Structure 1
Amino acid sequence: MSSSPTPPTTVTVTDRADILVKQRRFPNGPAPDPAASREEHRIRSFHARRGRITQAQAAAIDAHWDAWGVELDGSPLDLPALFGSADLPVVLEIGFGMGDATAAMAAADPATGILAVDVHTPGQGNLLALADRLGLTNVRVANGDAVVLLRDMLPPASLAGLRVYFPDPWPKAKHHKRRLIQPDFLAMVTPLLRPGAVVHCATDWEPYAEHMLEVLSAAPGLVNQYPAGPNSRPAEGFAPRPDFRPLTKFERQGLAKGHVVRDLLFTRV
């Protein structure tokens, strides 16, 4: 007598969430995919990277994620409540690497909050460790896709600025669609910026710098602080590196290779 076939197993959204919780390296730390239930299929500008993590970085996540960590899961985010102040202007930084520059800028400007987004677990742990070591109260570390944050979680005119330093240039032509700075991205960001907010981008990849300049210049509501003249030269339209942006290890490596670093500063009007 033949047995009836076993029905296929159906994995629900709830099941998938349970599986992801079991996969977490830190049960009370950053989730592998905080917006998993959204089941989105779109081109992303990043790859999630867990990476090897040091004991100090892991200890910082265990100690501080509950207080200073933010999961970008699509739930509305109350920035005054997150930073404990309704008067603290908040700047969003997307892609902070190991967090050294972020911590230095936060220490130099304690009157500004920094919501720093990345998906690199060792970097998240390192920034939390730096914040603890330096006694910073104006840094929050966000885990996940910045697009989910911008599209679903923030109210209009809630940000005092946007910083995107040395994003992946996706140098191959077939990958240019993955670059973060695109018209659709800026159309999403601009309404979230209050008047006078500054968009600051930097890259050491010249073709991407030119792309950024073109896209930012065409974005409604943004004005270049260093506009090119009618007879512009190639370097016009770019800004000198501001003193408040630290020279990072990554940047030094690019300069050693002969790369030209370009800064772009645009103001929300």
Structure 2
Amino acid sequence: MSQSQTSSRMFPDGGPAADPAGDRFERRIRSFQPRRSRVTAGQADAIRRLWPAWGFDVDGRRVLDLDAMFGGAPVVLEIGFGMGETTARMAEAEPETGLIAVDVHTPGQGNLLALAERAGLTNLRVANGDAVILLREMLPPRSLAGIRVYFPDPWPKKRHHKRRLVQPAFLDLAATRMAPGAVLHCATDWEPYAEQMLDVLTAHPAFENTAPGGGFAERPAFRPLTRFEGQGLDKGHVVRDLLFCRSGD
């Protein structure tokens, strides 16, 4: 059974589409792979009940009205949120900030919606699909107060480095959607990717390093320690944070 058939049977009255943008946009190398792990009954129930109000597909067919969506609050985009525990904690800690969290992992989408409901969050929206299409087609220029990219796929094999998200072309696009002073915050425990991120961000004219003296930053208090991160630290992994500010025009 195809992913689209599975999605339509599980969520017959609406839910995250298997391929929301379809073939409307150019084919290009993607930085992510759809993960088709099992959706639990609780996750499926959360999607059925909450998706119509708190979720949307990244189909590229409209520009989002962020003022209407979040009542004029500043908006931050998180790209890739896993199972959503960290995202929910940050949204709860920042009630005056709107948070759009985008991923393609259906179990994570359901889990995040359930966590948001449990915490009574109203400042969170869950997006399903390609973050590049979301940025380019659905977000207005200078509309974001920040972008967060935590533990993206490092694509460790050299032949796959072109799939990494944080590249000059991505930064070109992100810069157009970030307001002056907005912060791009990346974190990774893969040292070679951290070095690449630092190199491309340092070289990009639209971004300025906020770390004193340049280089990597200390983990800011607003980024909670994730379970995944804790497991890595226990194994001796080094986590690198990068905080770069969108310079003014």
TM-score, normalized by the shorter chain, greater than 0.5: yes
3-state DSSP class of the match of 1:189?
helix
Candidates 95, 102, 105, aligned match of 2:90 = 105
Structure 1 pair 90–39 and aligned structure 2 pair: CA distance change class (3 A): closer
1:26 aligns with 2:11: yes
Aligned twin of 2:115: 130
Within 2, Cα distance between the matches of 1:127 and 1:256?
Answer: 26
Within 1, Cα distance between the matches of 2:22 and 2:43?
Answer: 25
Within 2, Cα distance between the matches of 1:170 and 1:255?
Answer: 20
Aligned twin of 1:42: 28
Structure 1 pair 166–257 and aligned structure 2 pair: CA distance change class (3 A): same
1:169 aligns with 2:154: yes
CA deviation profile, 1:122-174 (whole Å, cap 9, x unmatched)? 00000000000000000000000001111111111000100000000001100
- Displacement of 1:245: 0.4
- Displacement of 1:219: 1.4
- Displacement of 1:252: 1.0
In percent, how many aligned pairs have the same letter?
Answer: 67
Structure 1 pair 257–37 and aligned structure 2 pair: CA distance change class (3 A): same
Within 2, Cα distance between the matches of 1:245 and 1:201?
Answer: 10
- Displacement of 1:82: 2.3
Within 1, Cα distance between the matches of 2:6 and 2:82?
Answer: 26
1:223 aligns with 2:201: no
Aligned twin of 1:73: 59
- Displacement of 1:78: 1.4
Aligned twin of 1:244: 222
3-state DSSP class of the match of 2:174?
helix
Moved over 6 A (4+): none
- Displacement of 1:260: 0.3
Structure 1 pair 23–118 and aligned structure 2 pair: CA distance change class (3 A): closer
CA deviation profile, 1:72-101 (whole Å, cap 9, x unmatched)? 000222112222x1x200000000000000
CA deviation profile, 1:167-207 (whole Å, cap 9, x unmatched)? 00001100000000000000001011011111000000000
User: Which structure would you say has the larger Rg?
Assistant: 1
- Displacement of 1:50: 2.7
3-state DSSP class of the match of 1:49?
coil
Candidates 20, 39, 44, aligned match of 1:58 = 44
Within 2, Cα distance between the matches of 1:118 and 1:77?
Answer: 17
8 Å CA contact retained: 1:98, 1:122: yes
8 Å CA contact retained: 2:7, 2:16: no
How many pairs does the alignment contain?
242
- Displacement of 1:20: 4.2
CA RMSD of aligned residues (A): 1.5
> 1:268 is matched by which residue type in structure 2?
R
- For structure 1, list consecutive stretches of 5 or more residues without a partner in the other structure: 1-18, 229-235
3-state DSSP class of the match of 1:36?
coil
Aligned twin of 1:179: 164
- For structure 2, list consecutive stretches of 5 or more residues without a partner in the other structure: none
Structure 1 pair 99–23 and aligned structure 2 pair: CA distance change class (3 A): closer
Candidates 230, 255, 261, aligned match of 2:233 = 255
3-state DSSP class of the match of 2:223?
coil
Candidates 228, 231, 242, aligned match of 1:264 = 242
Within 2, Cα distance between the matches of 1:21 and 1:29?
Answer: 13
TM-score, length basis structure 2? 0.94
Within 2, Cα distance between the matches of 1:162 and 1:22?
Answer: 32
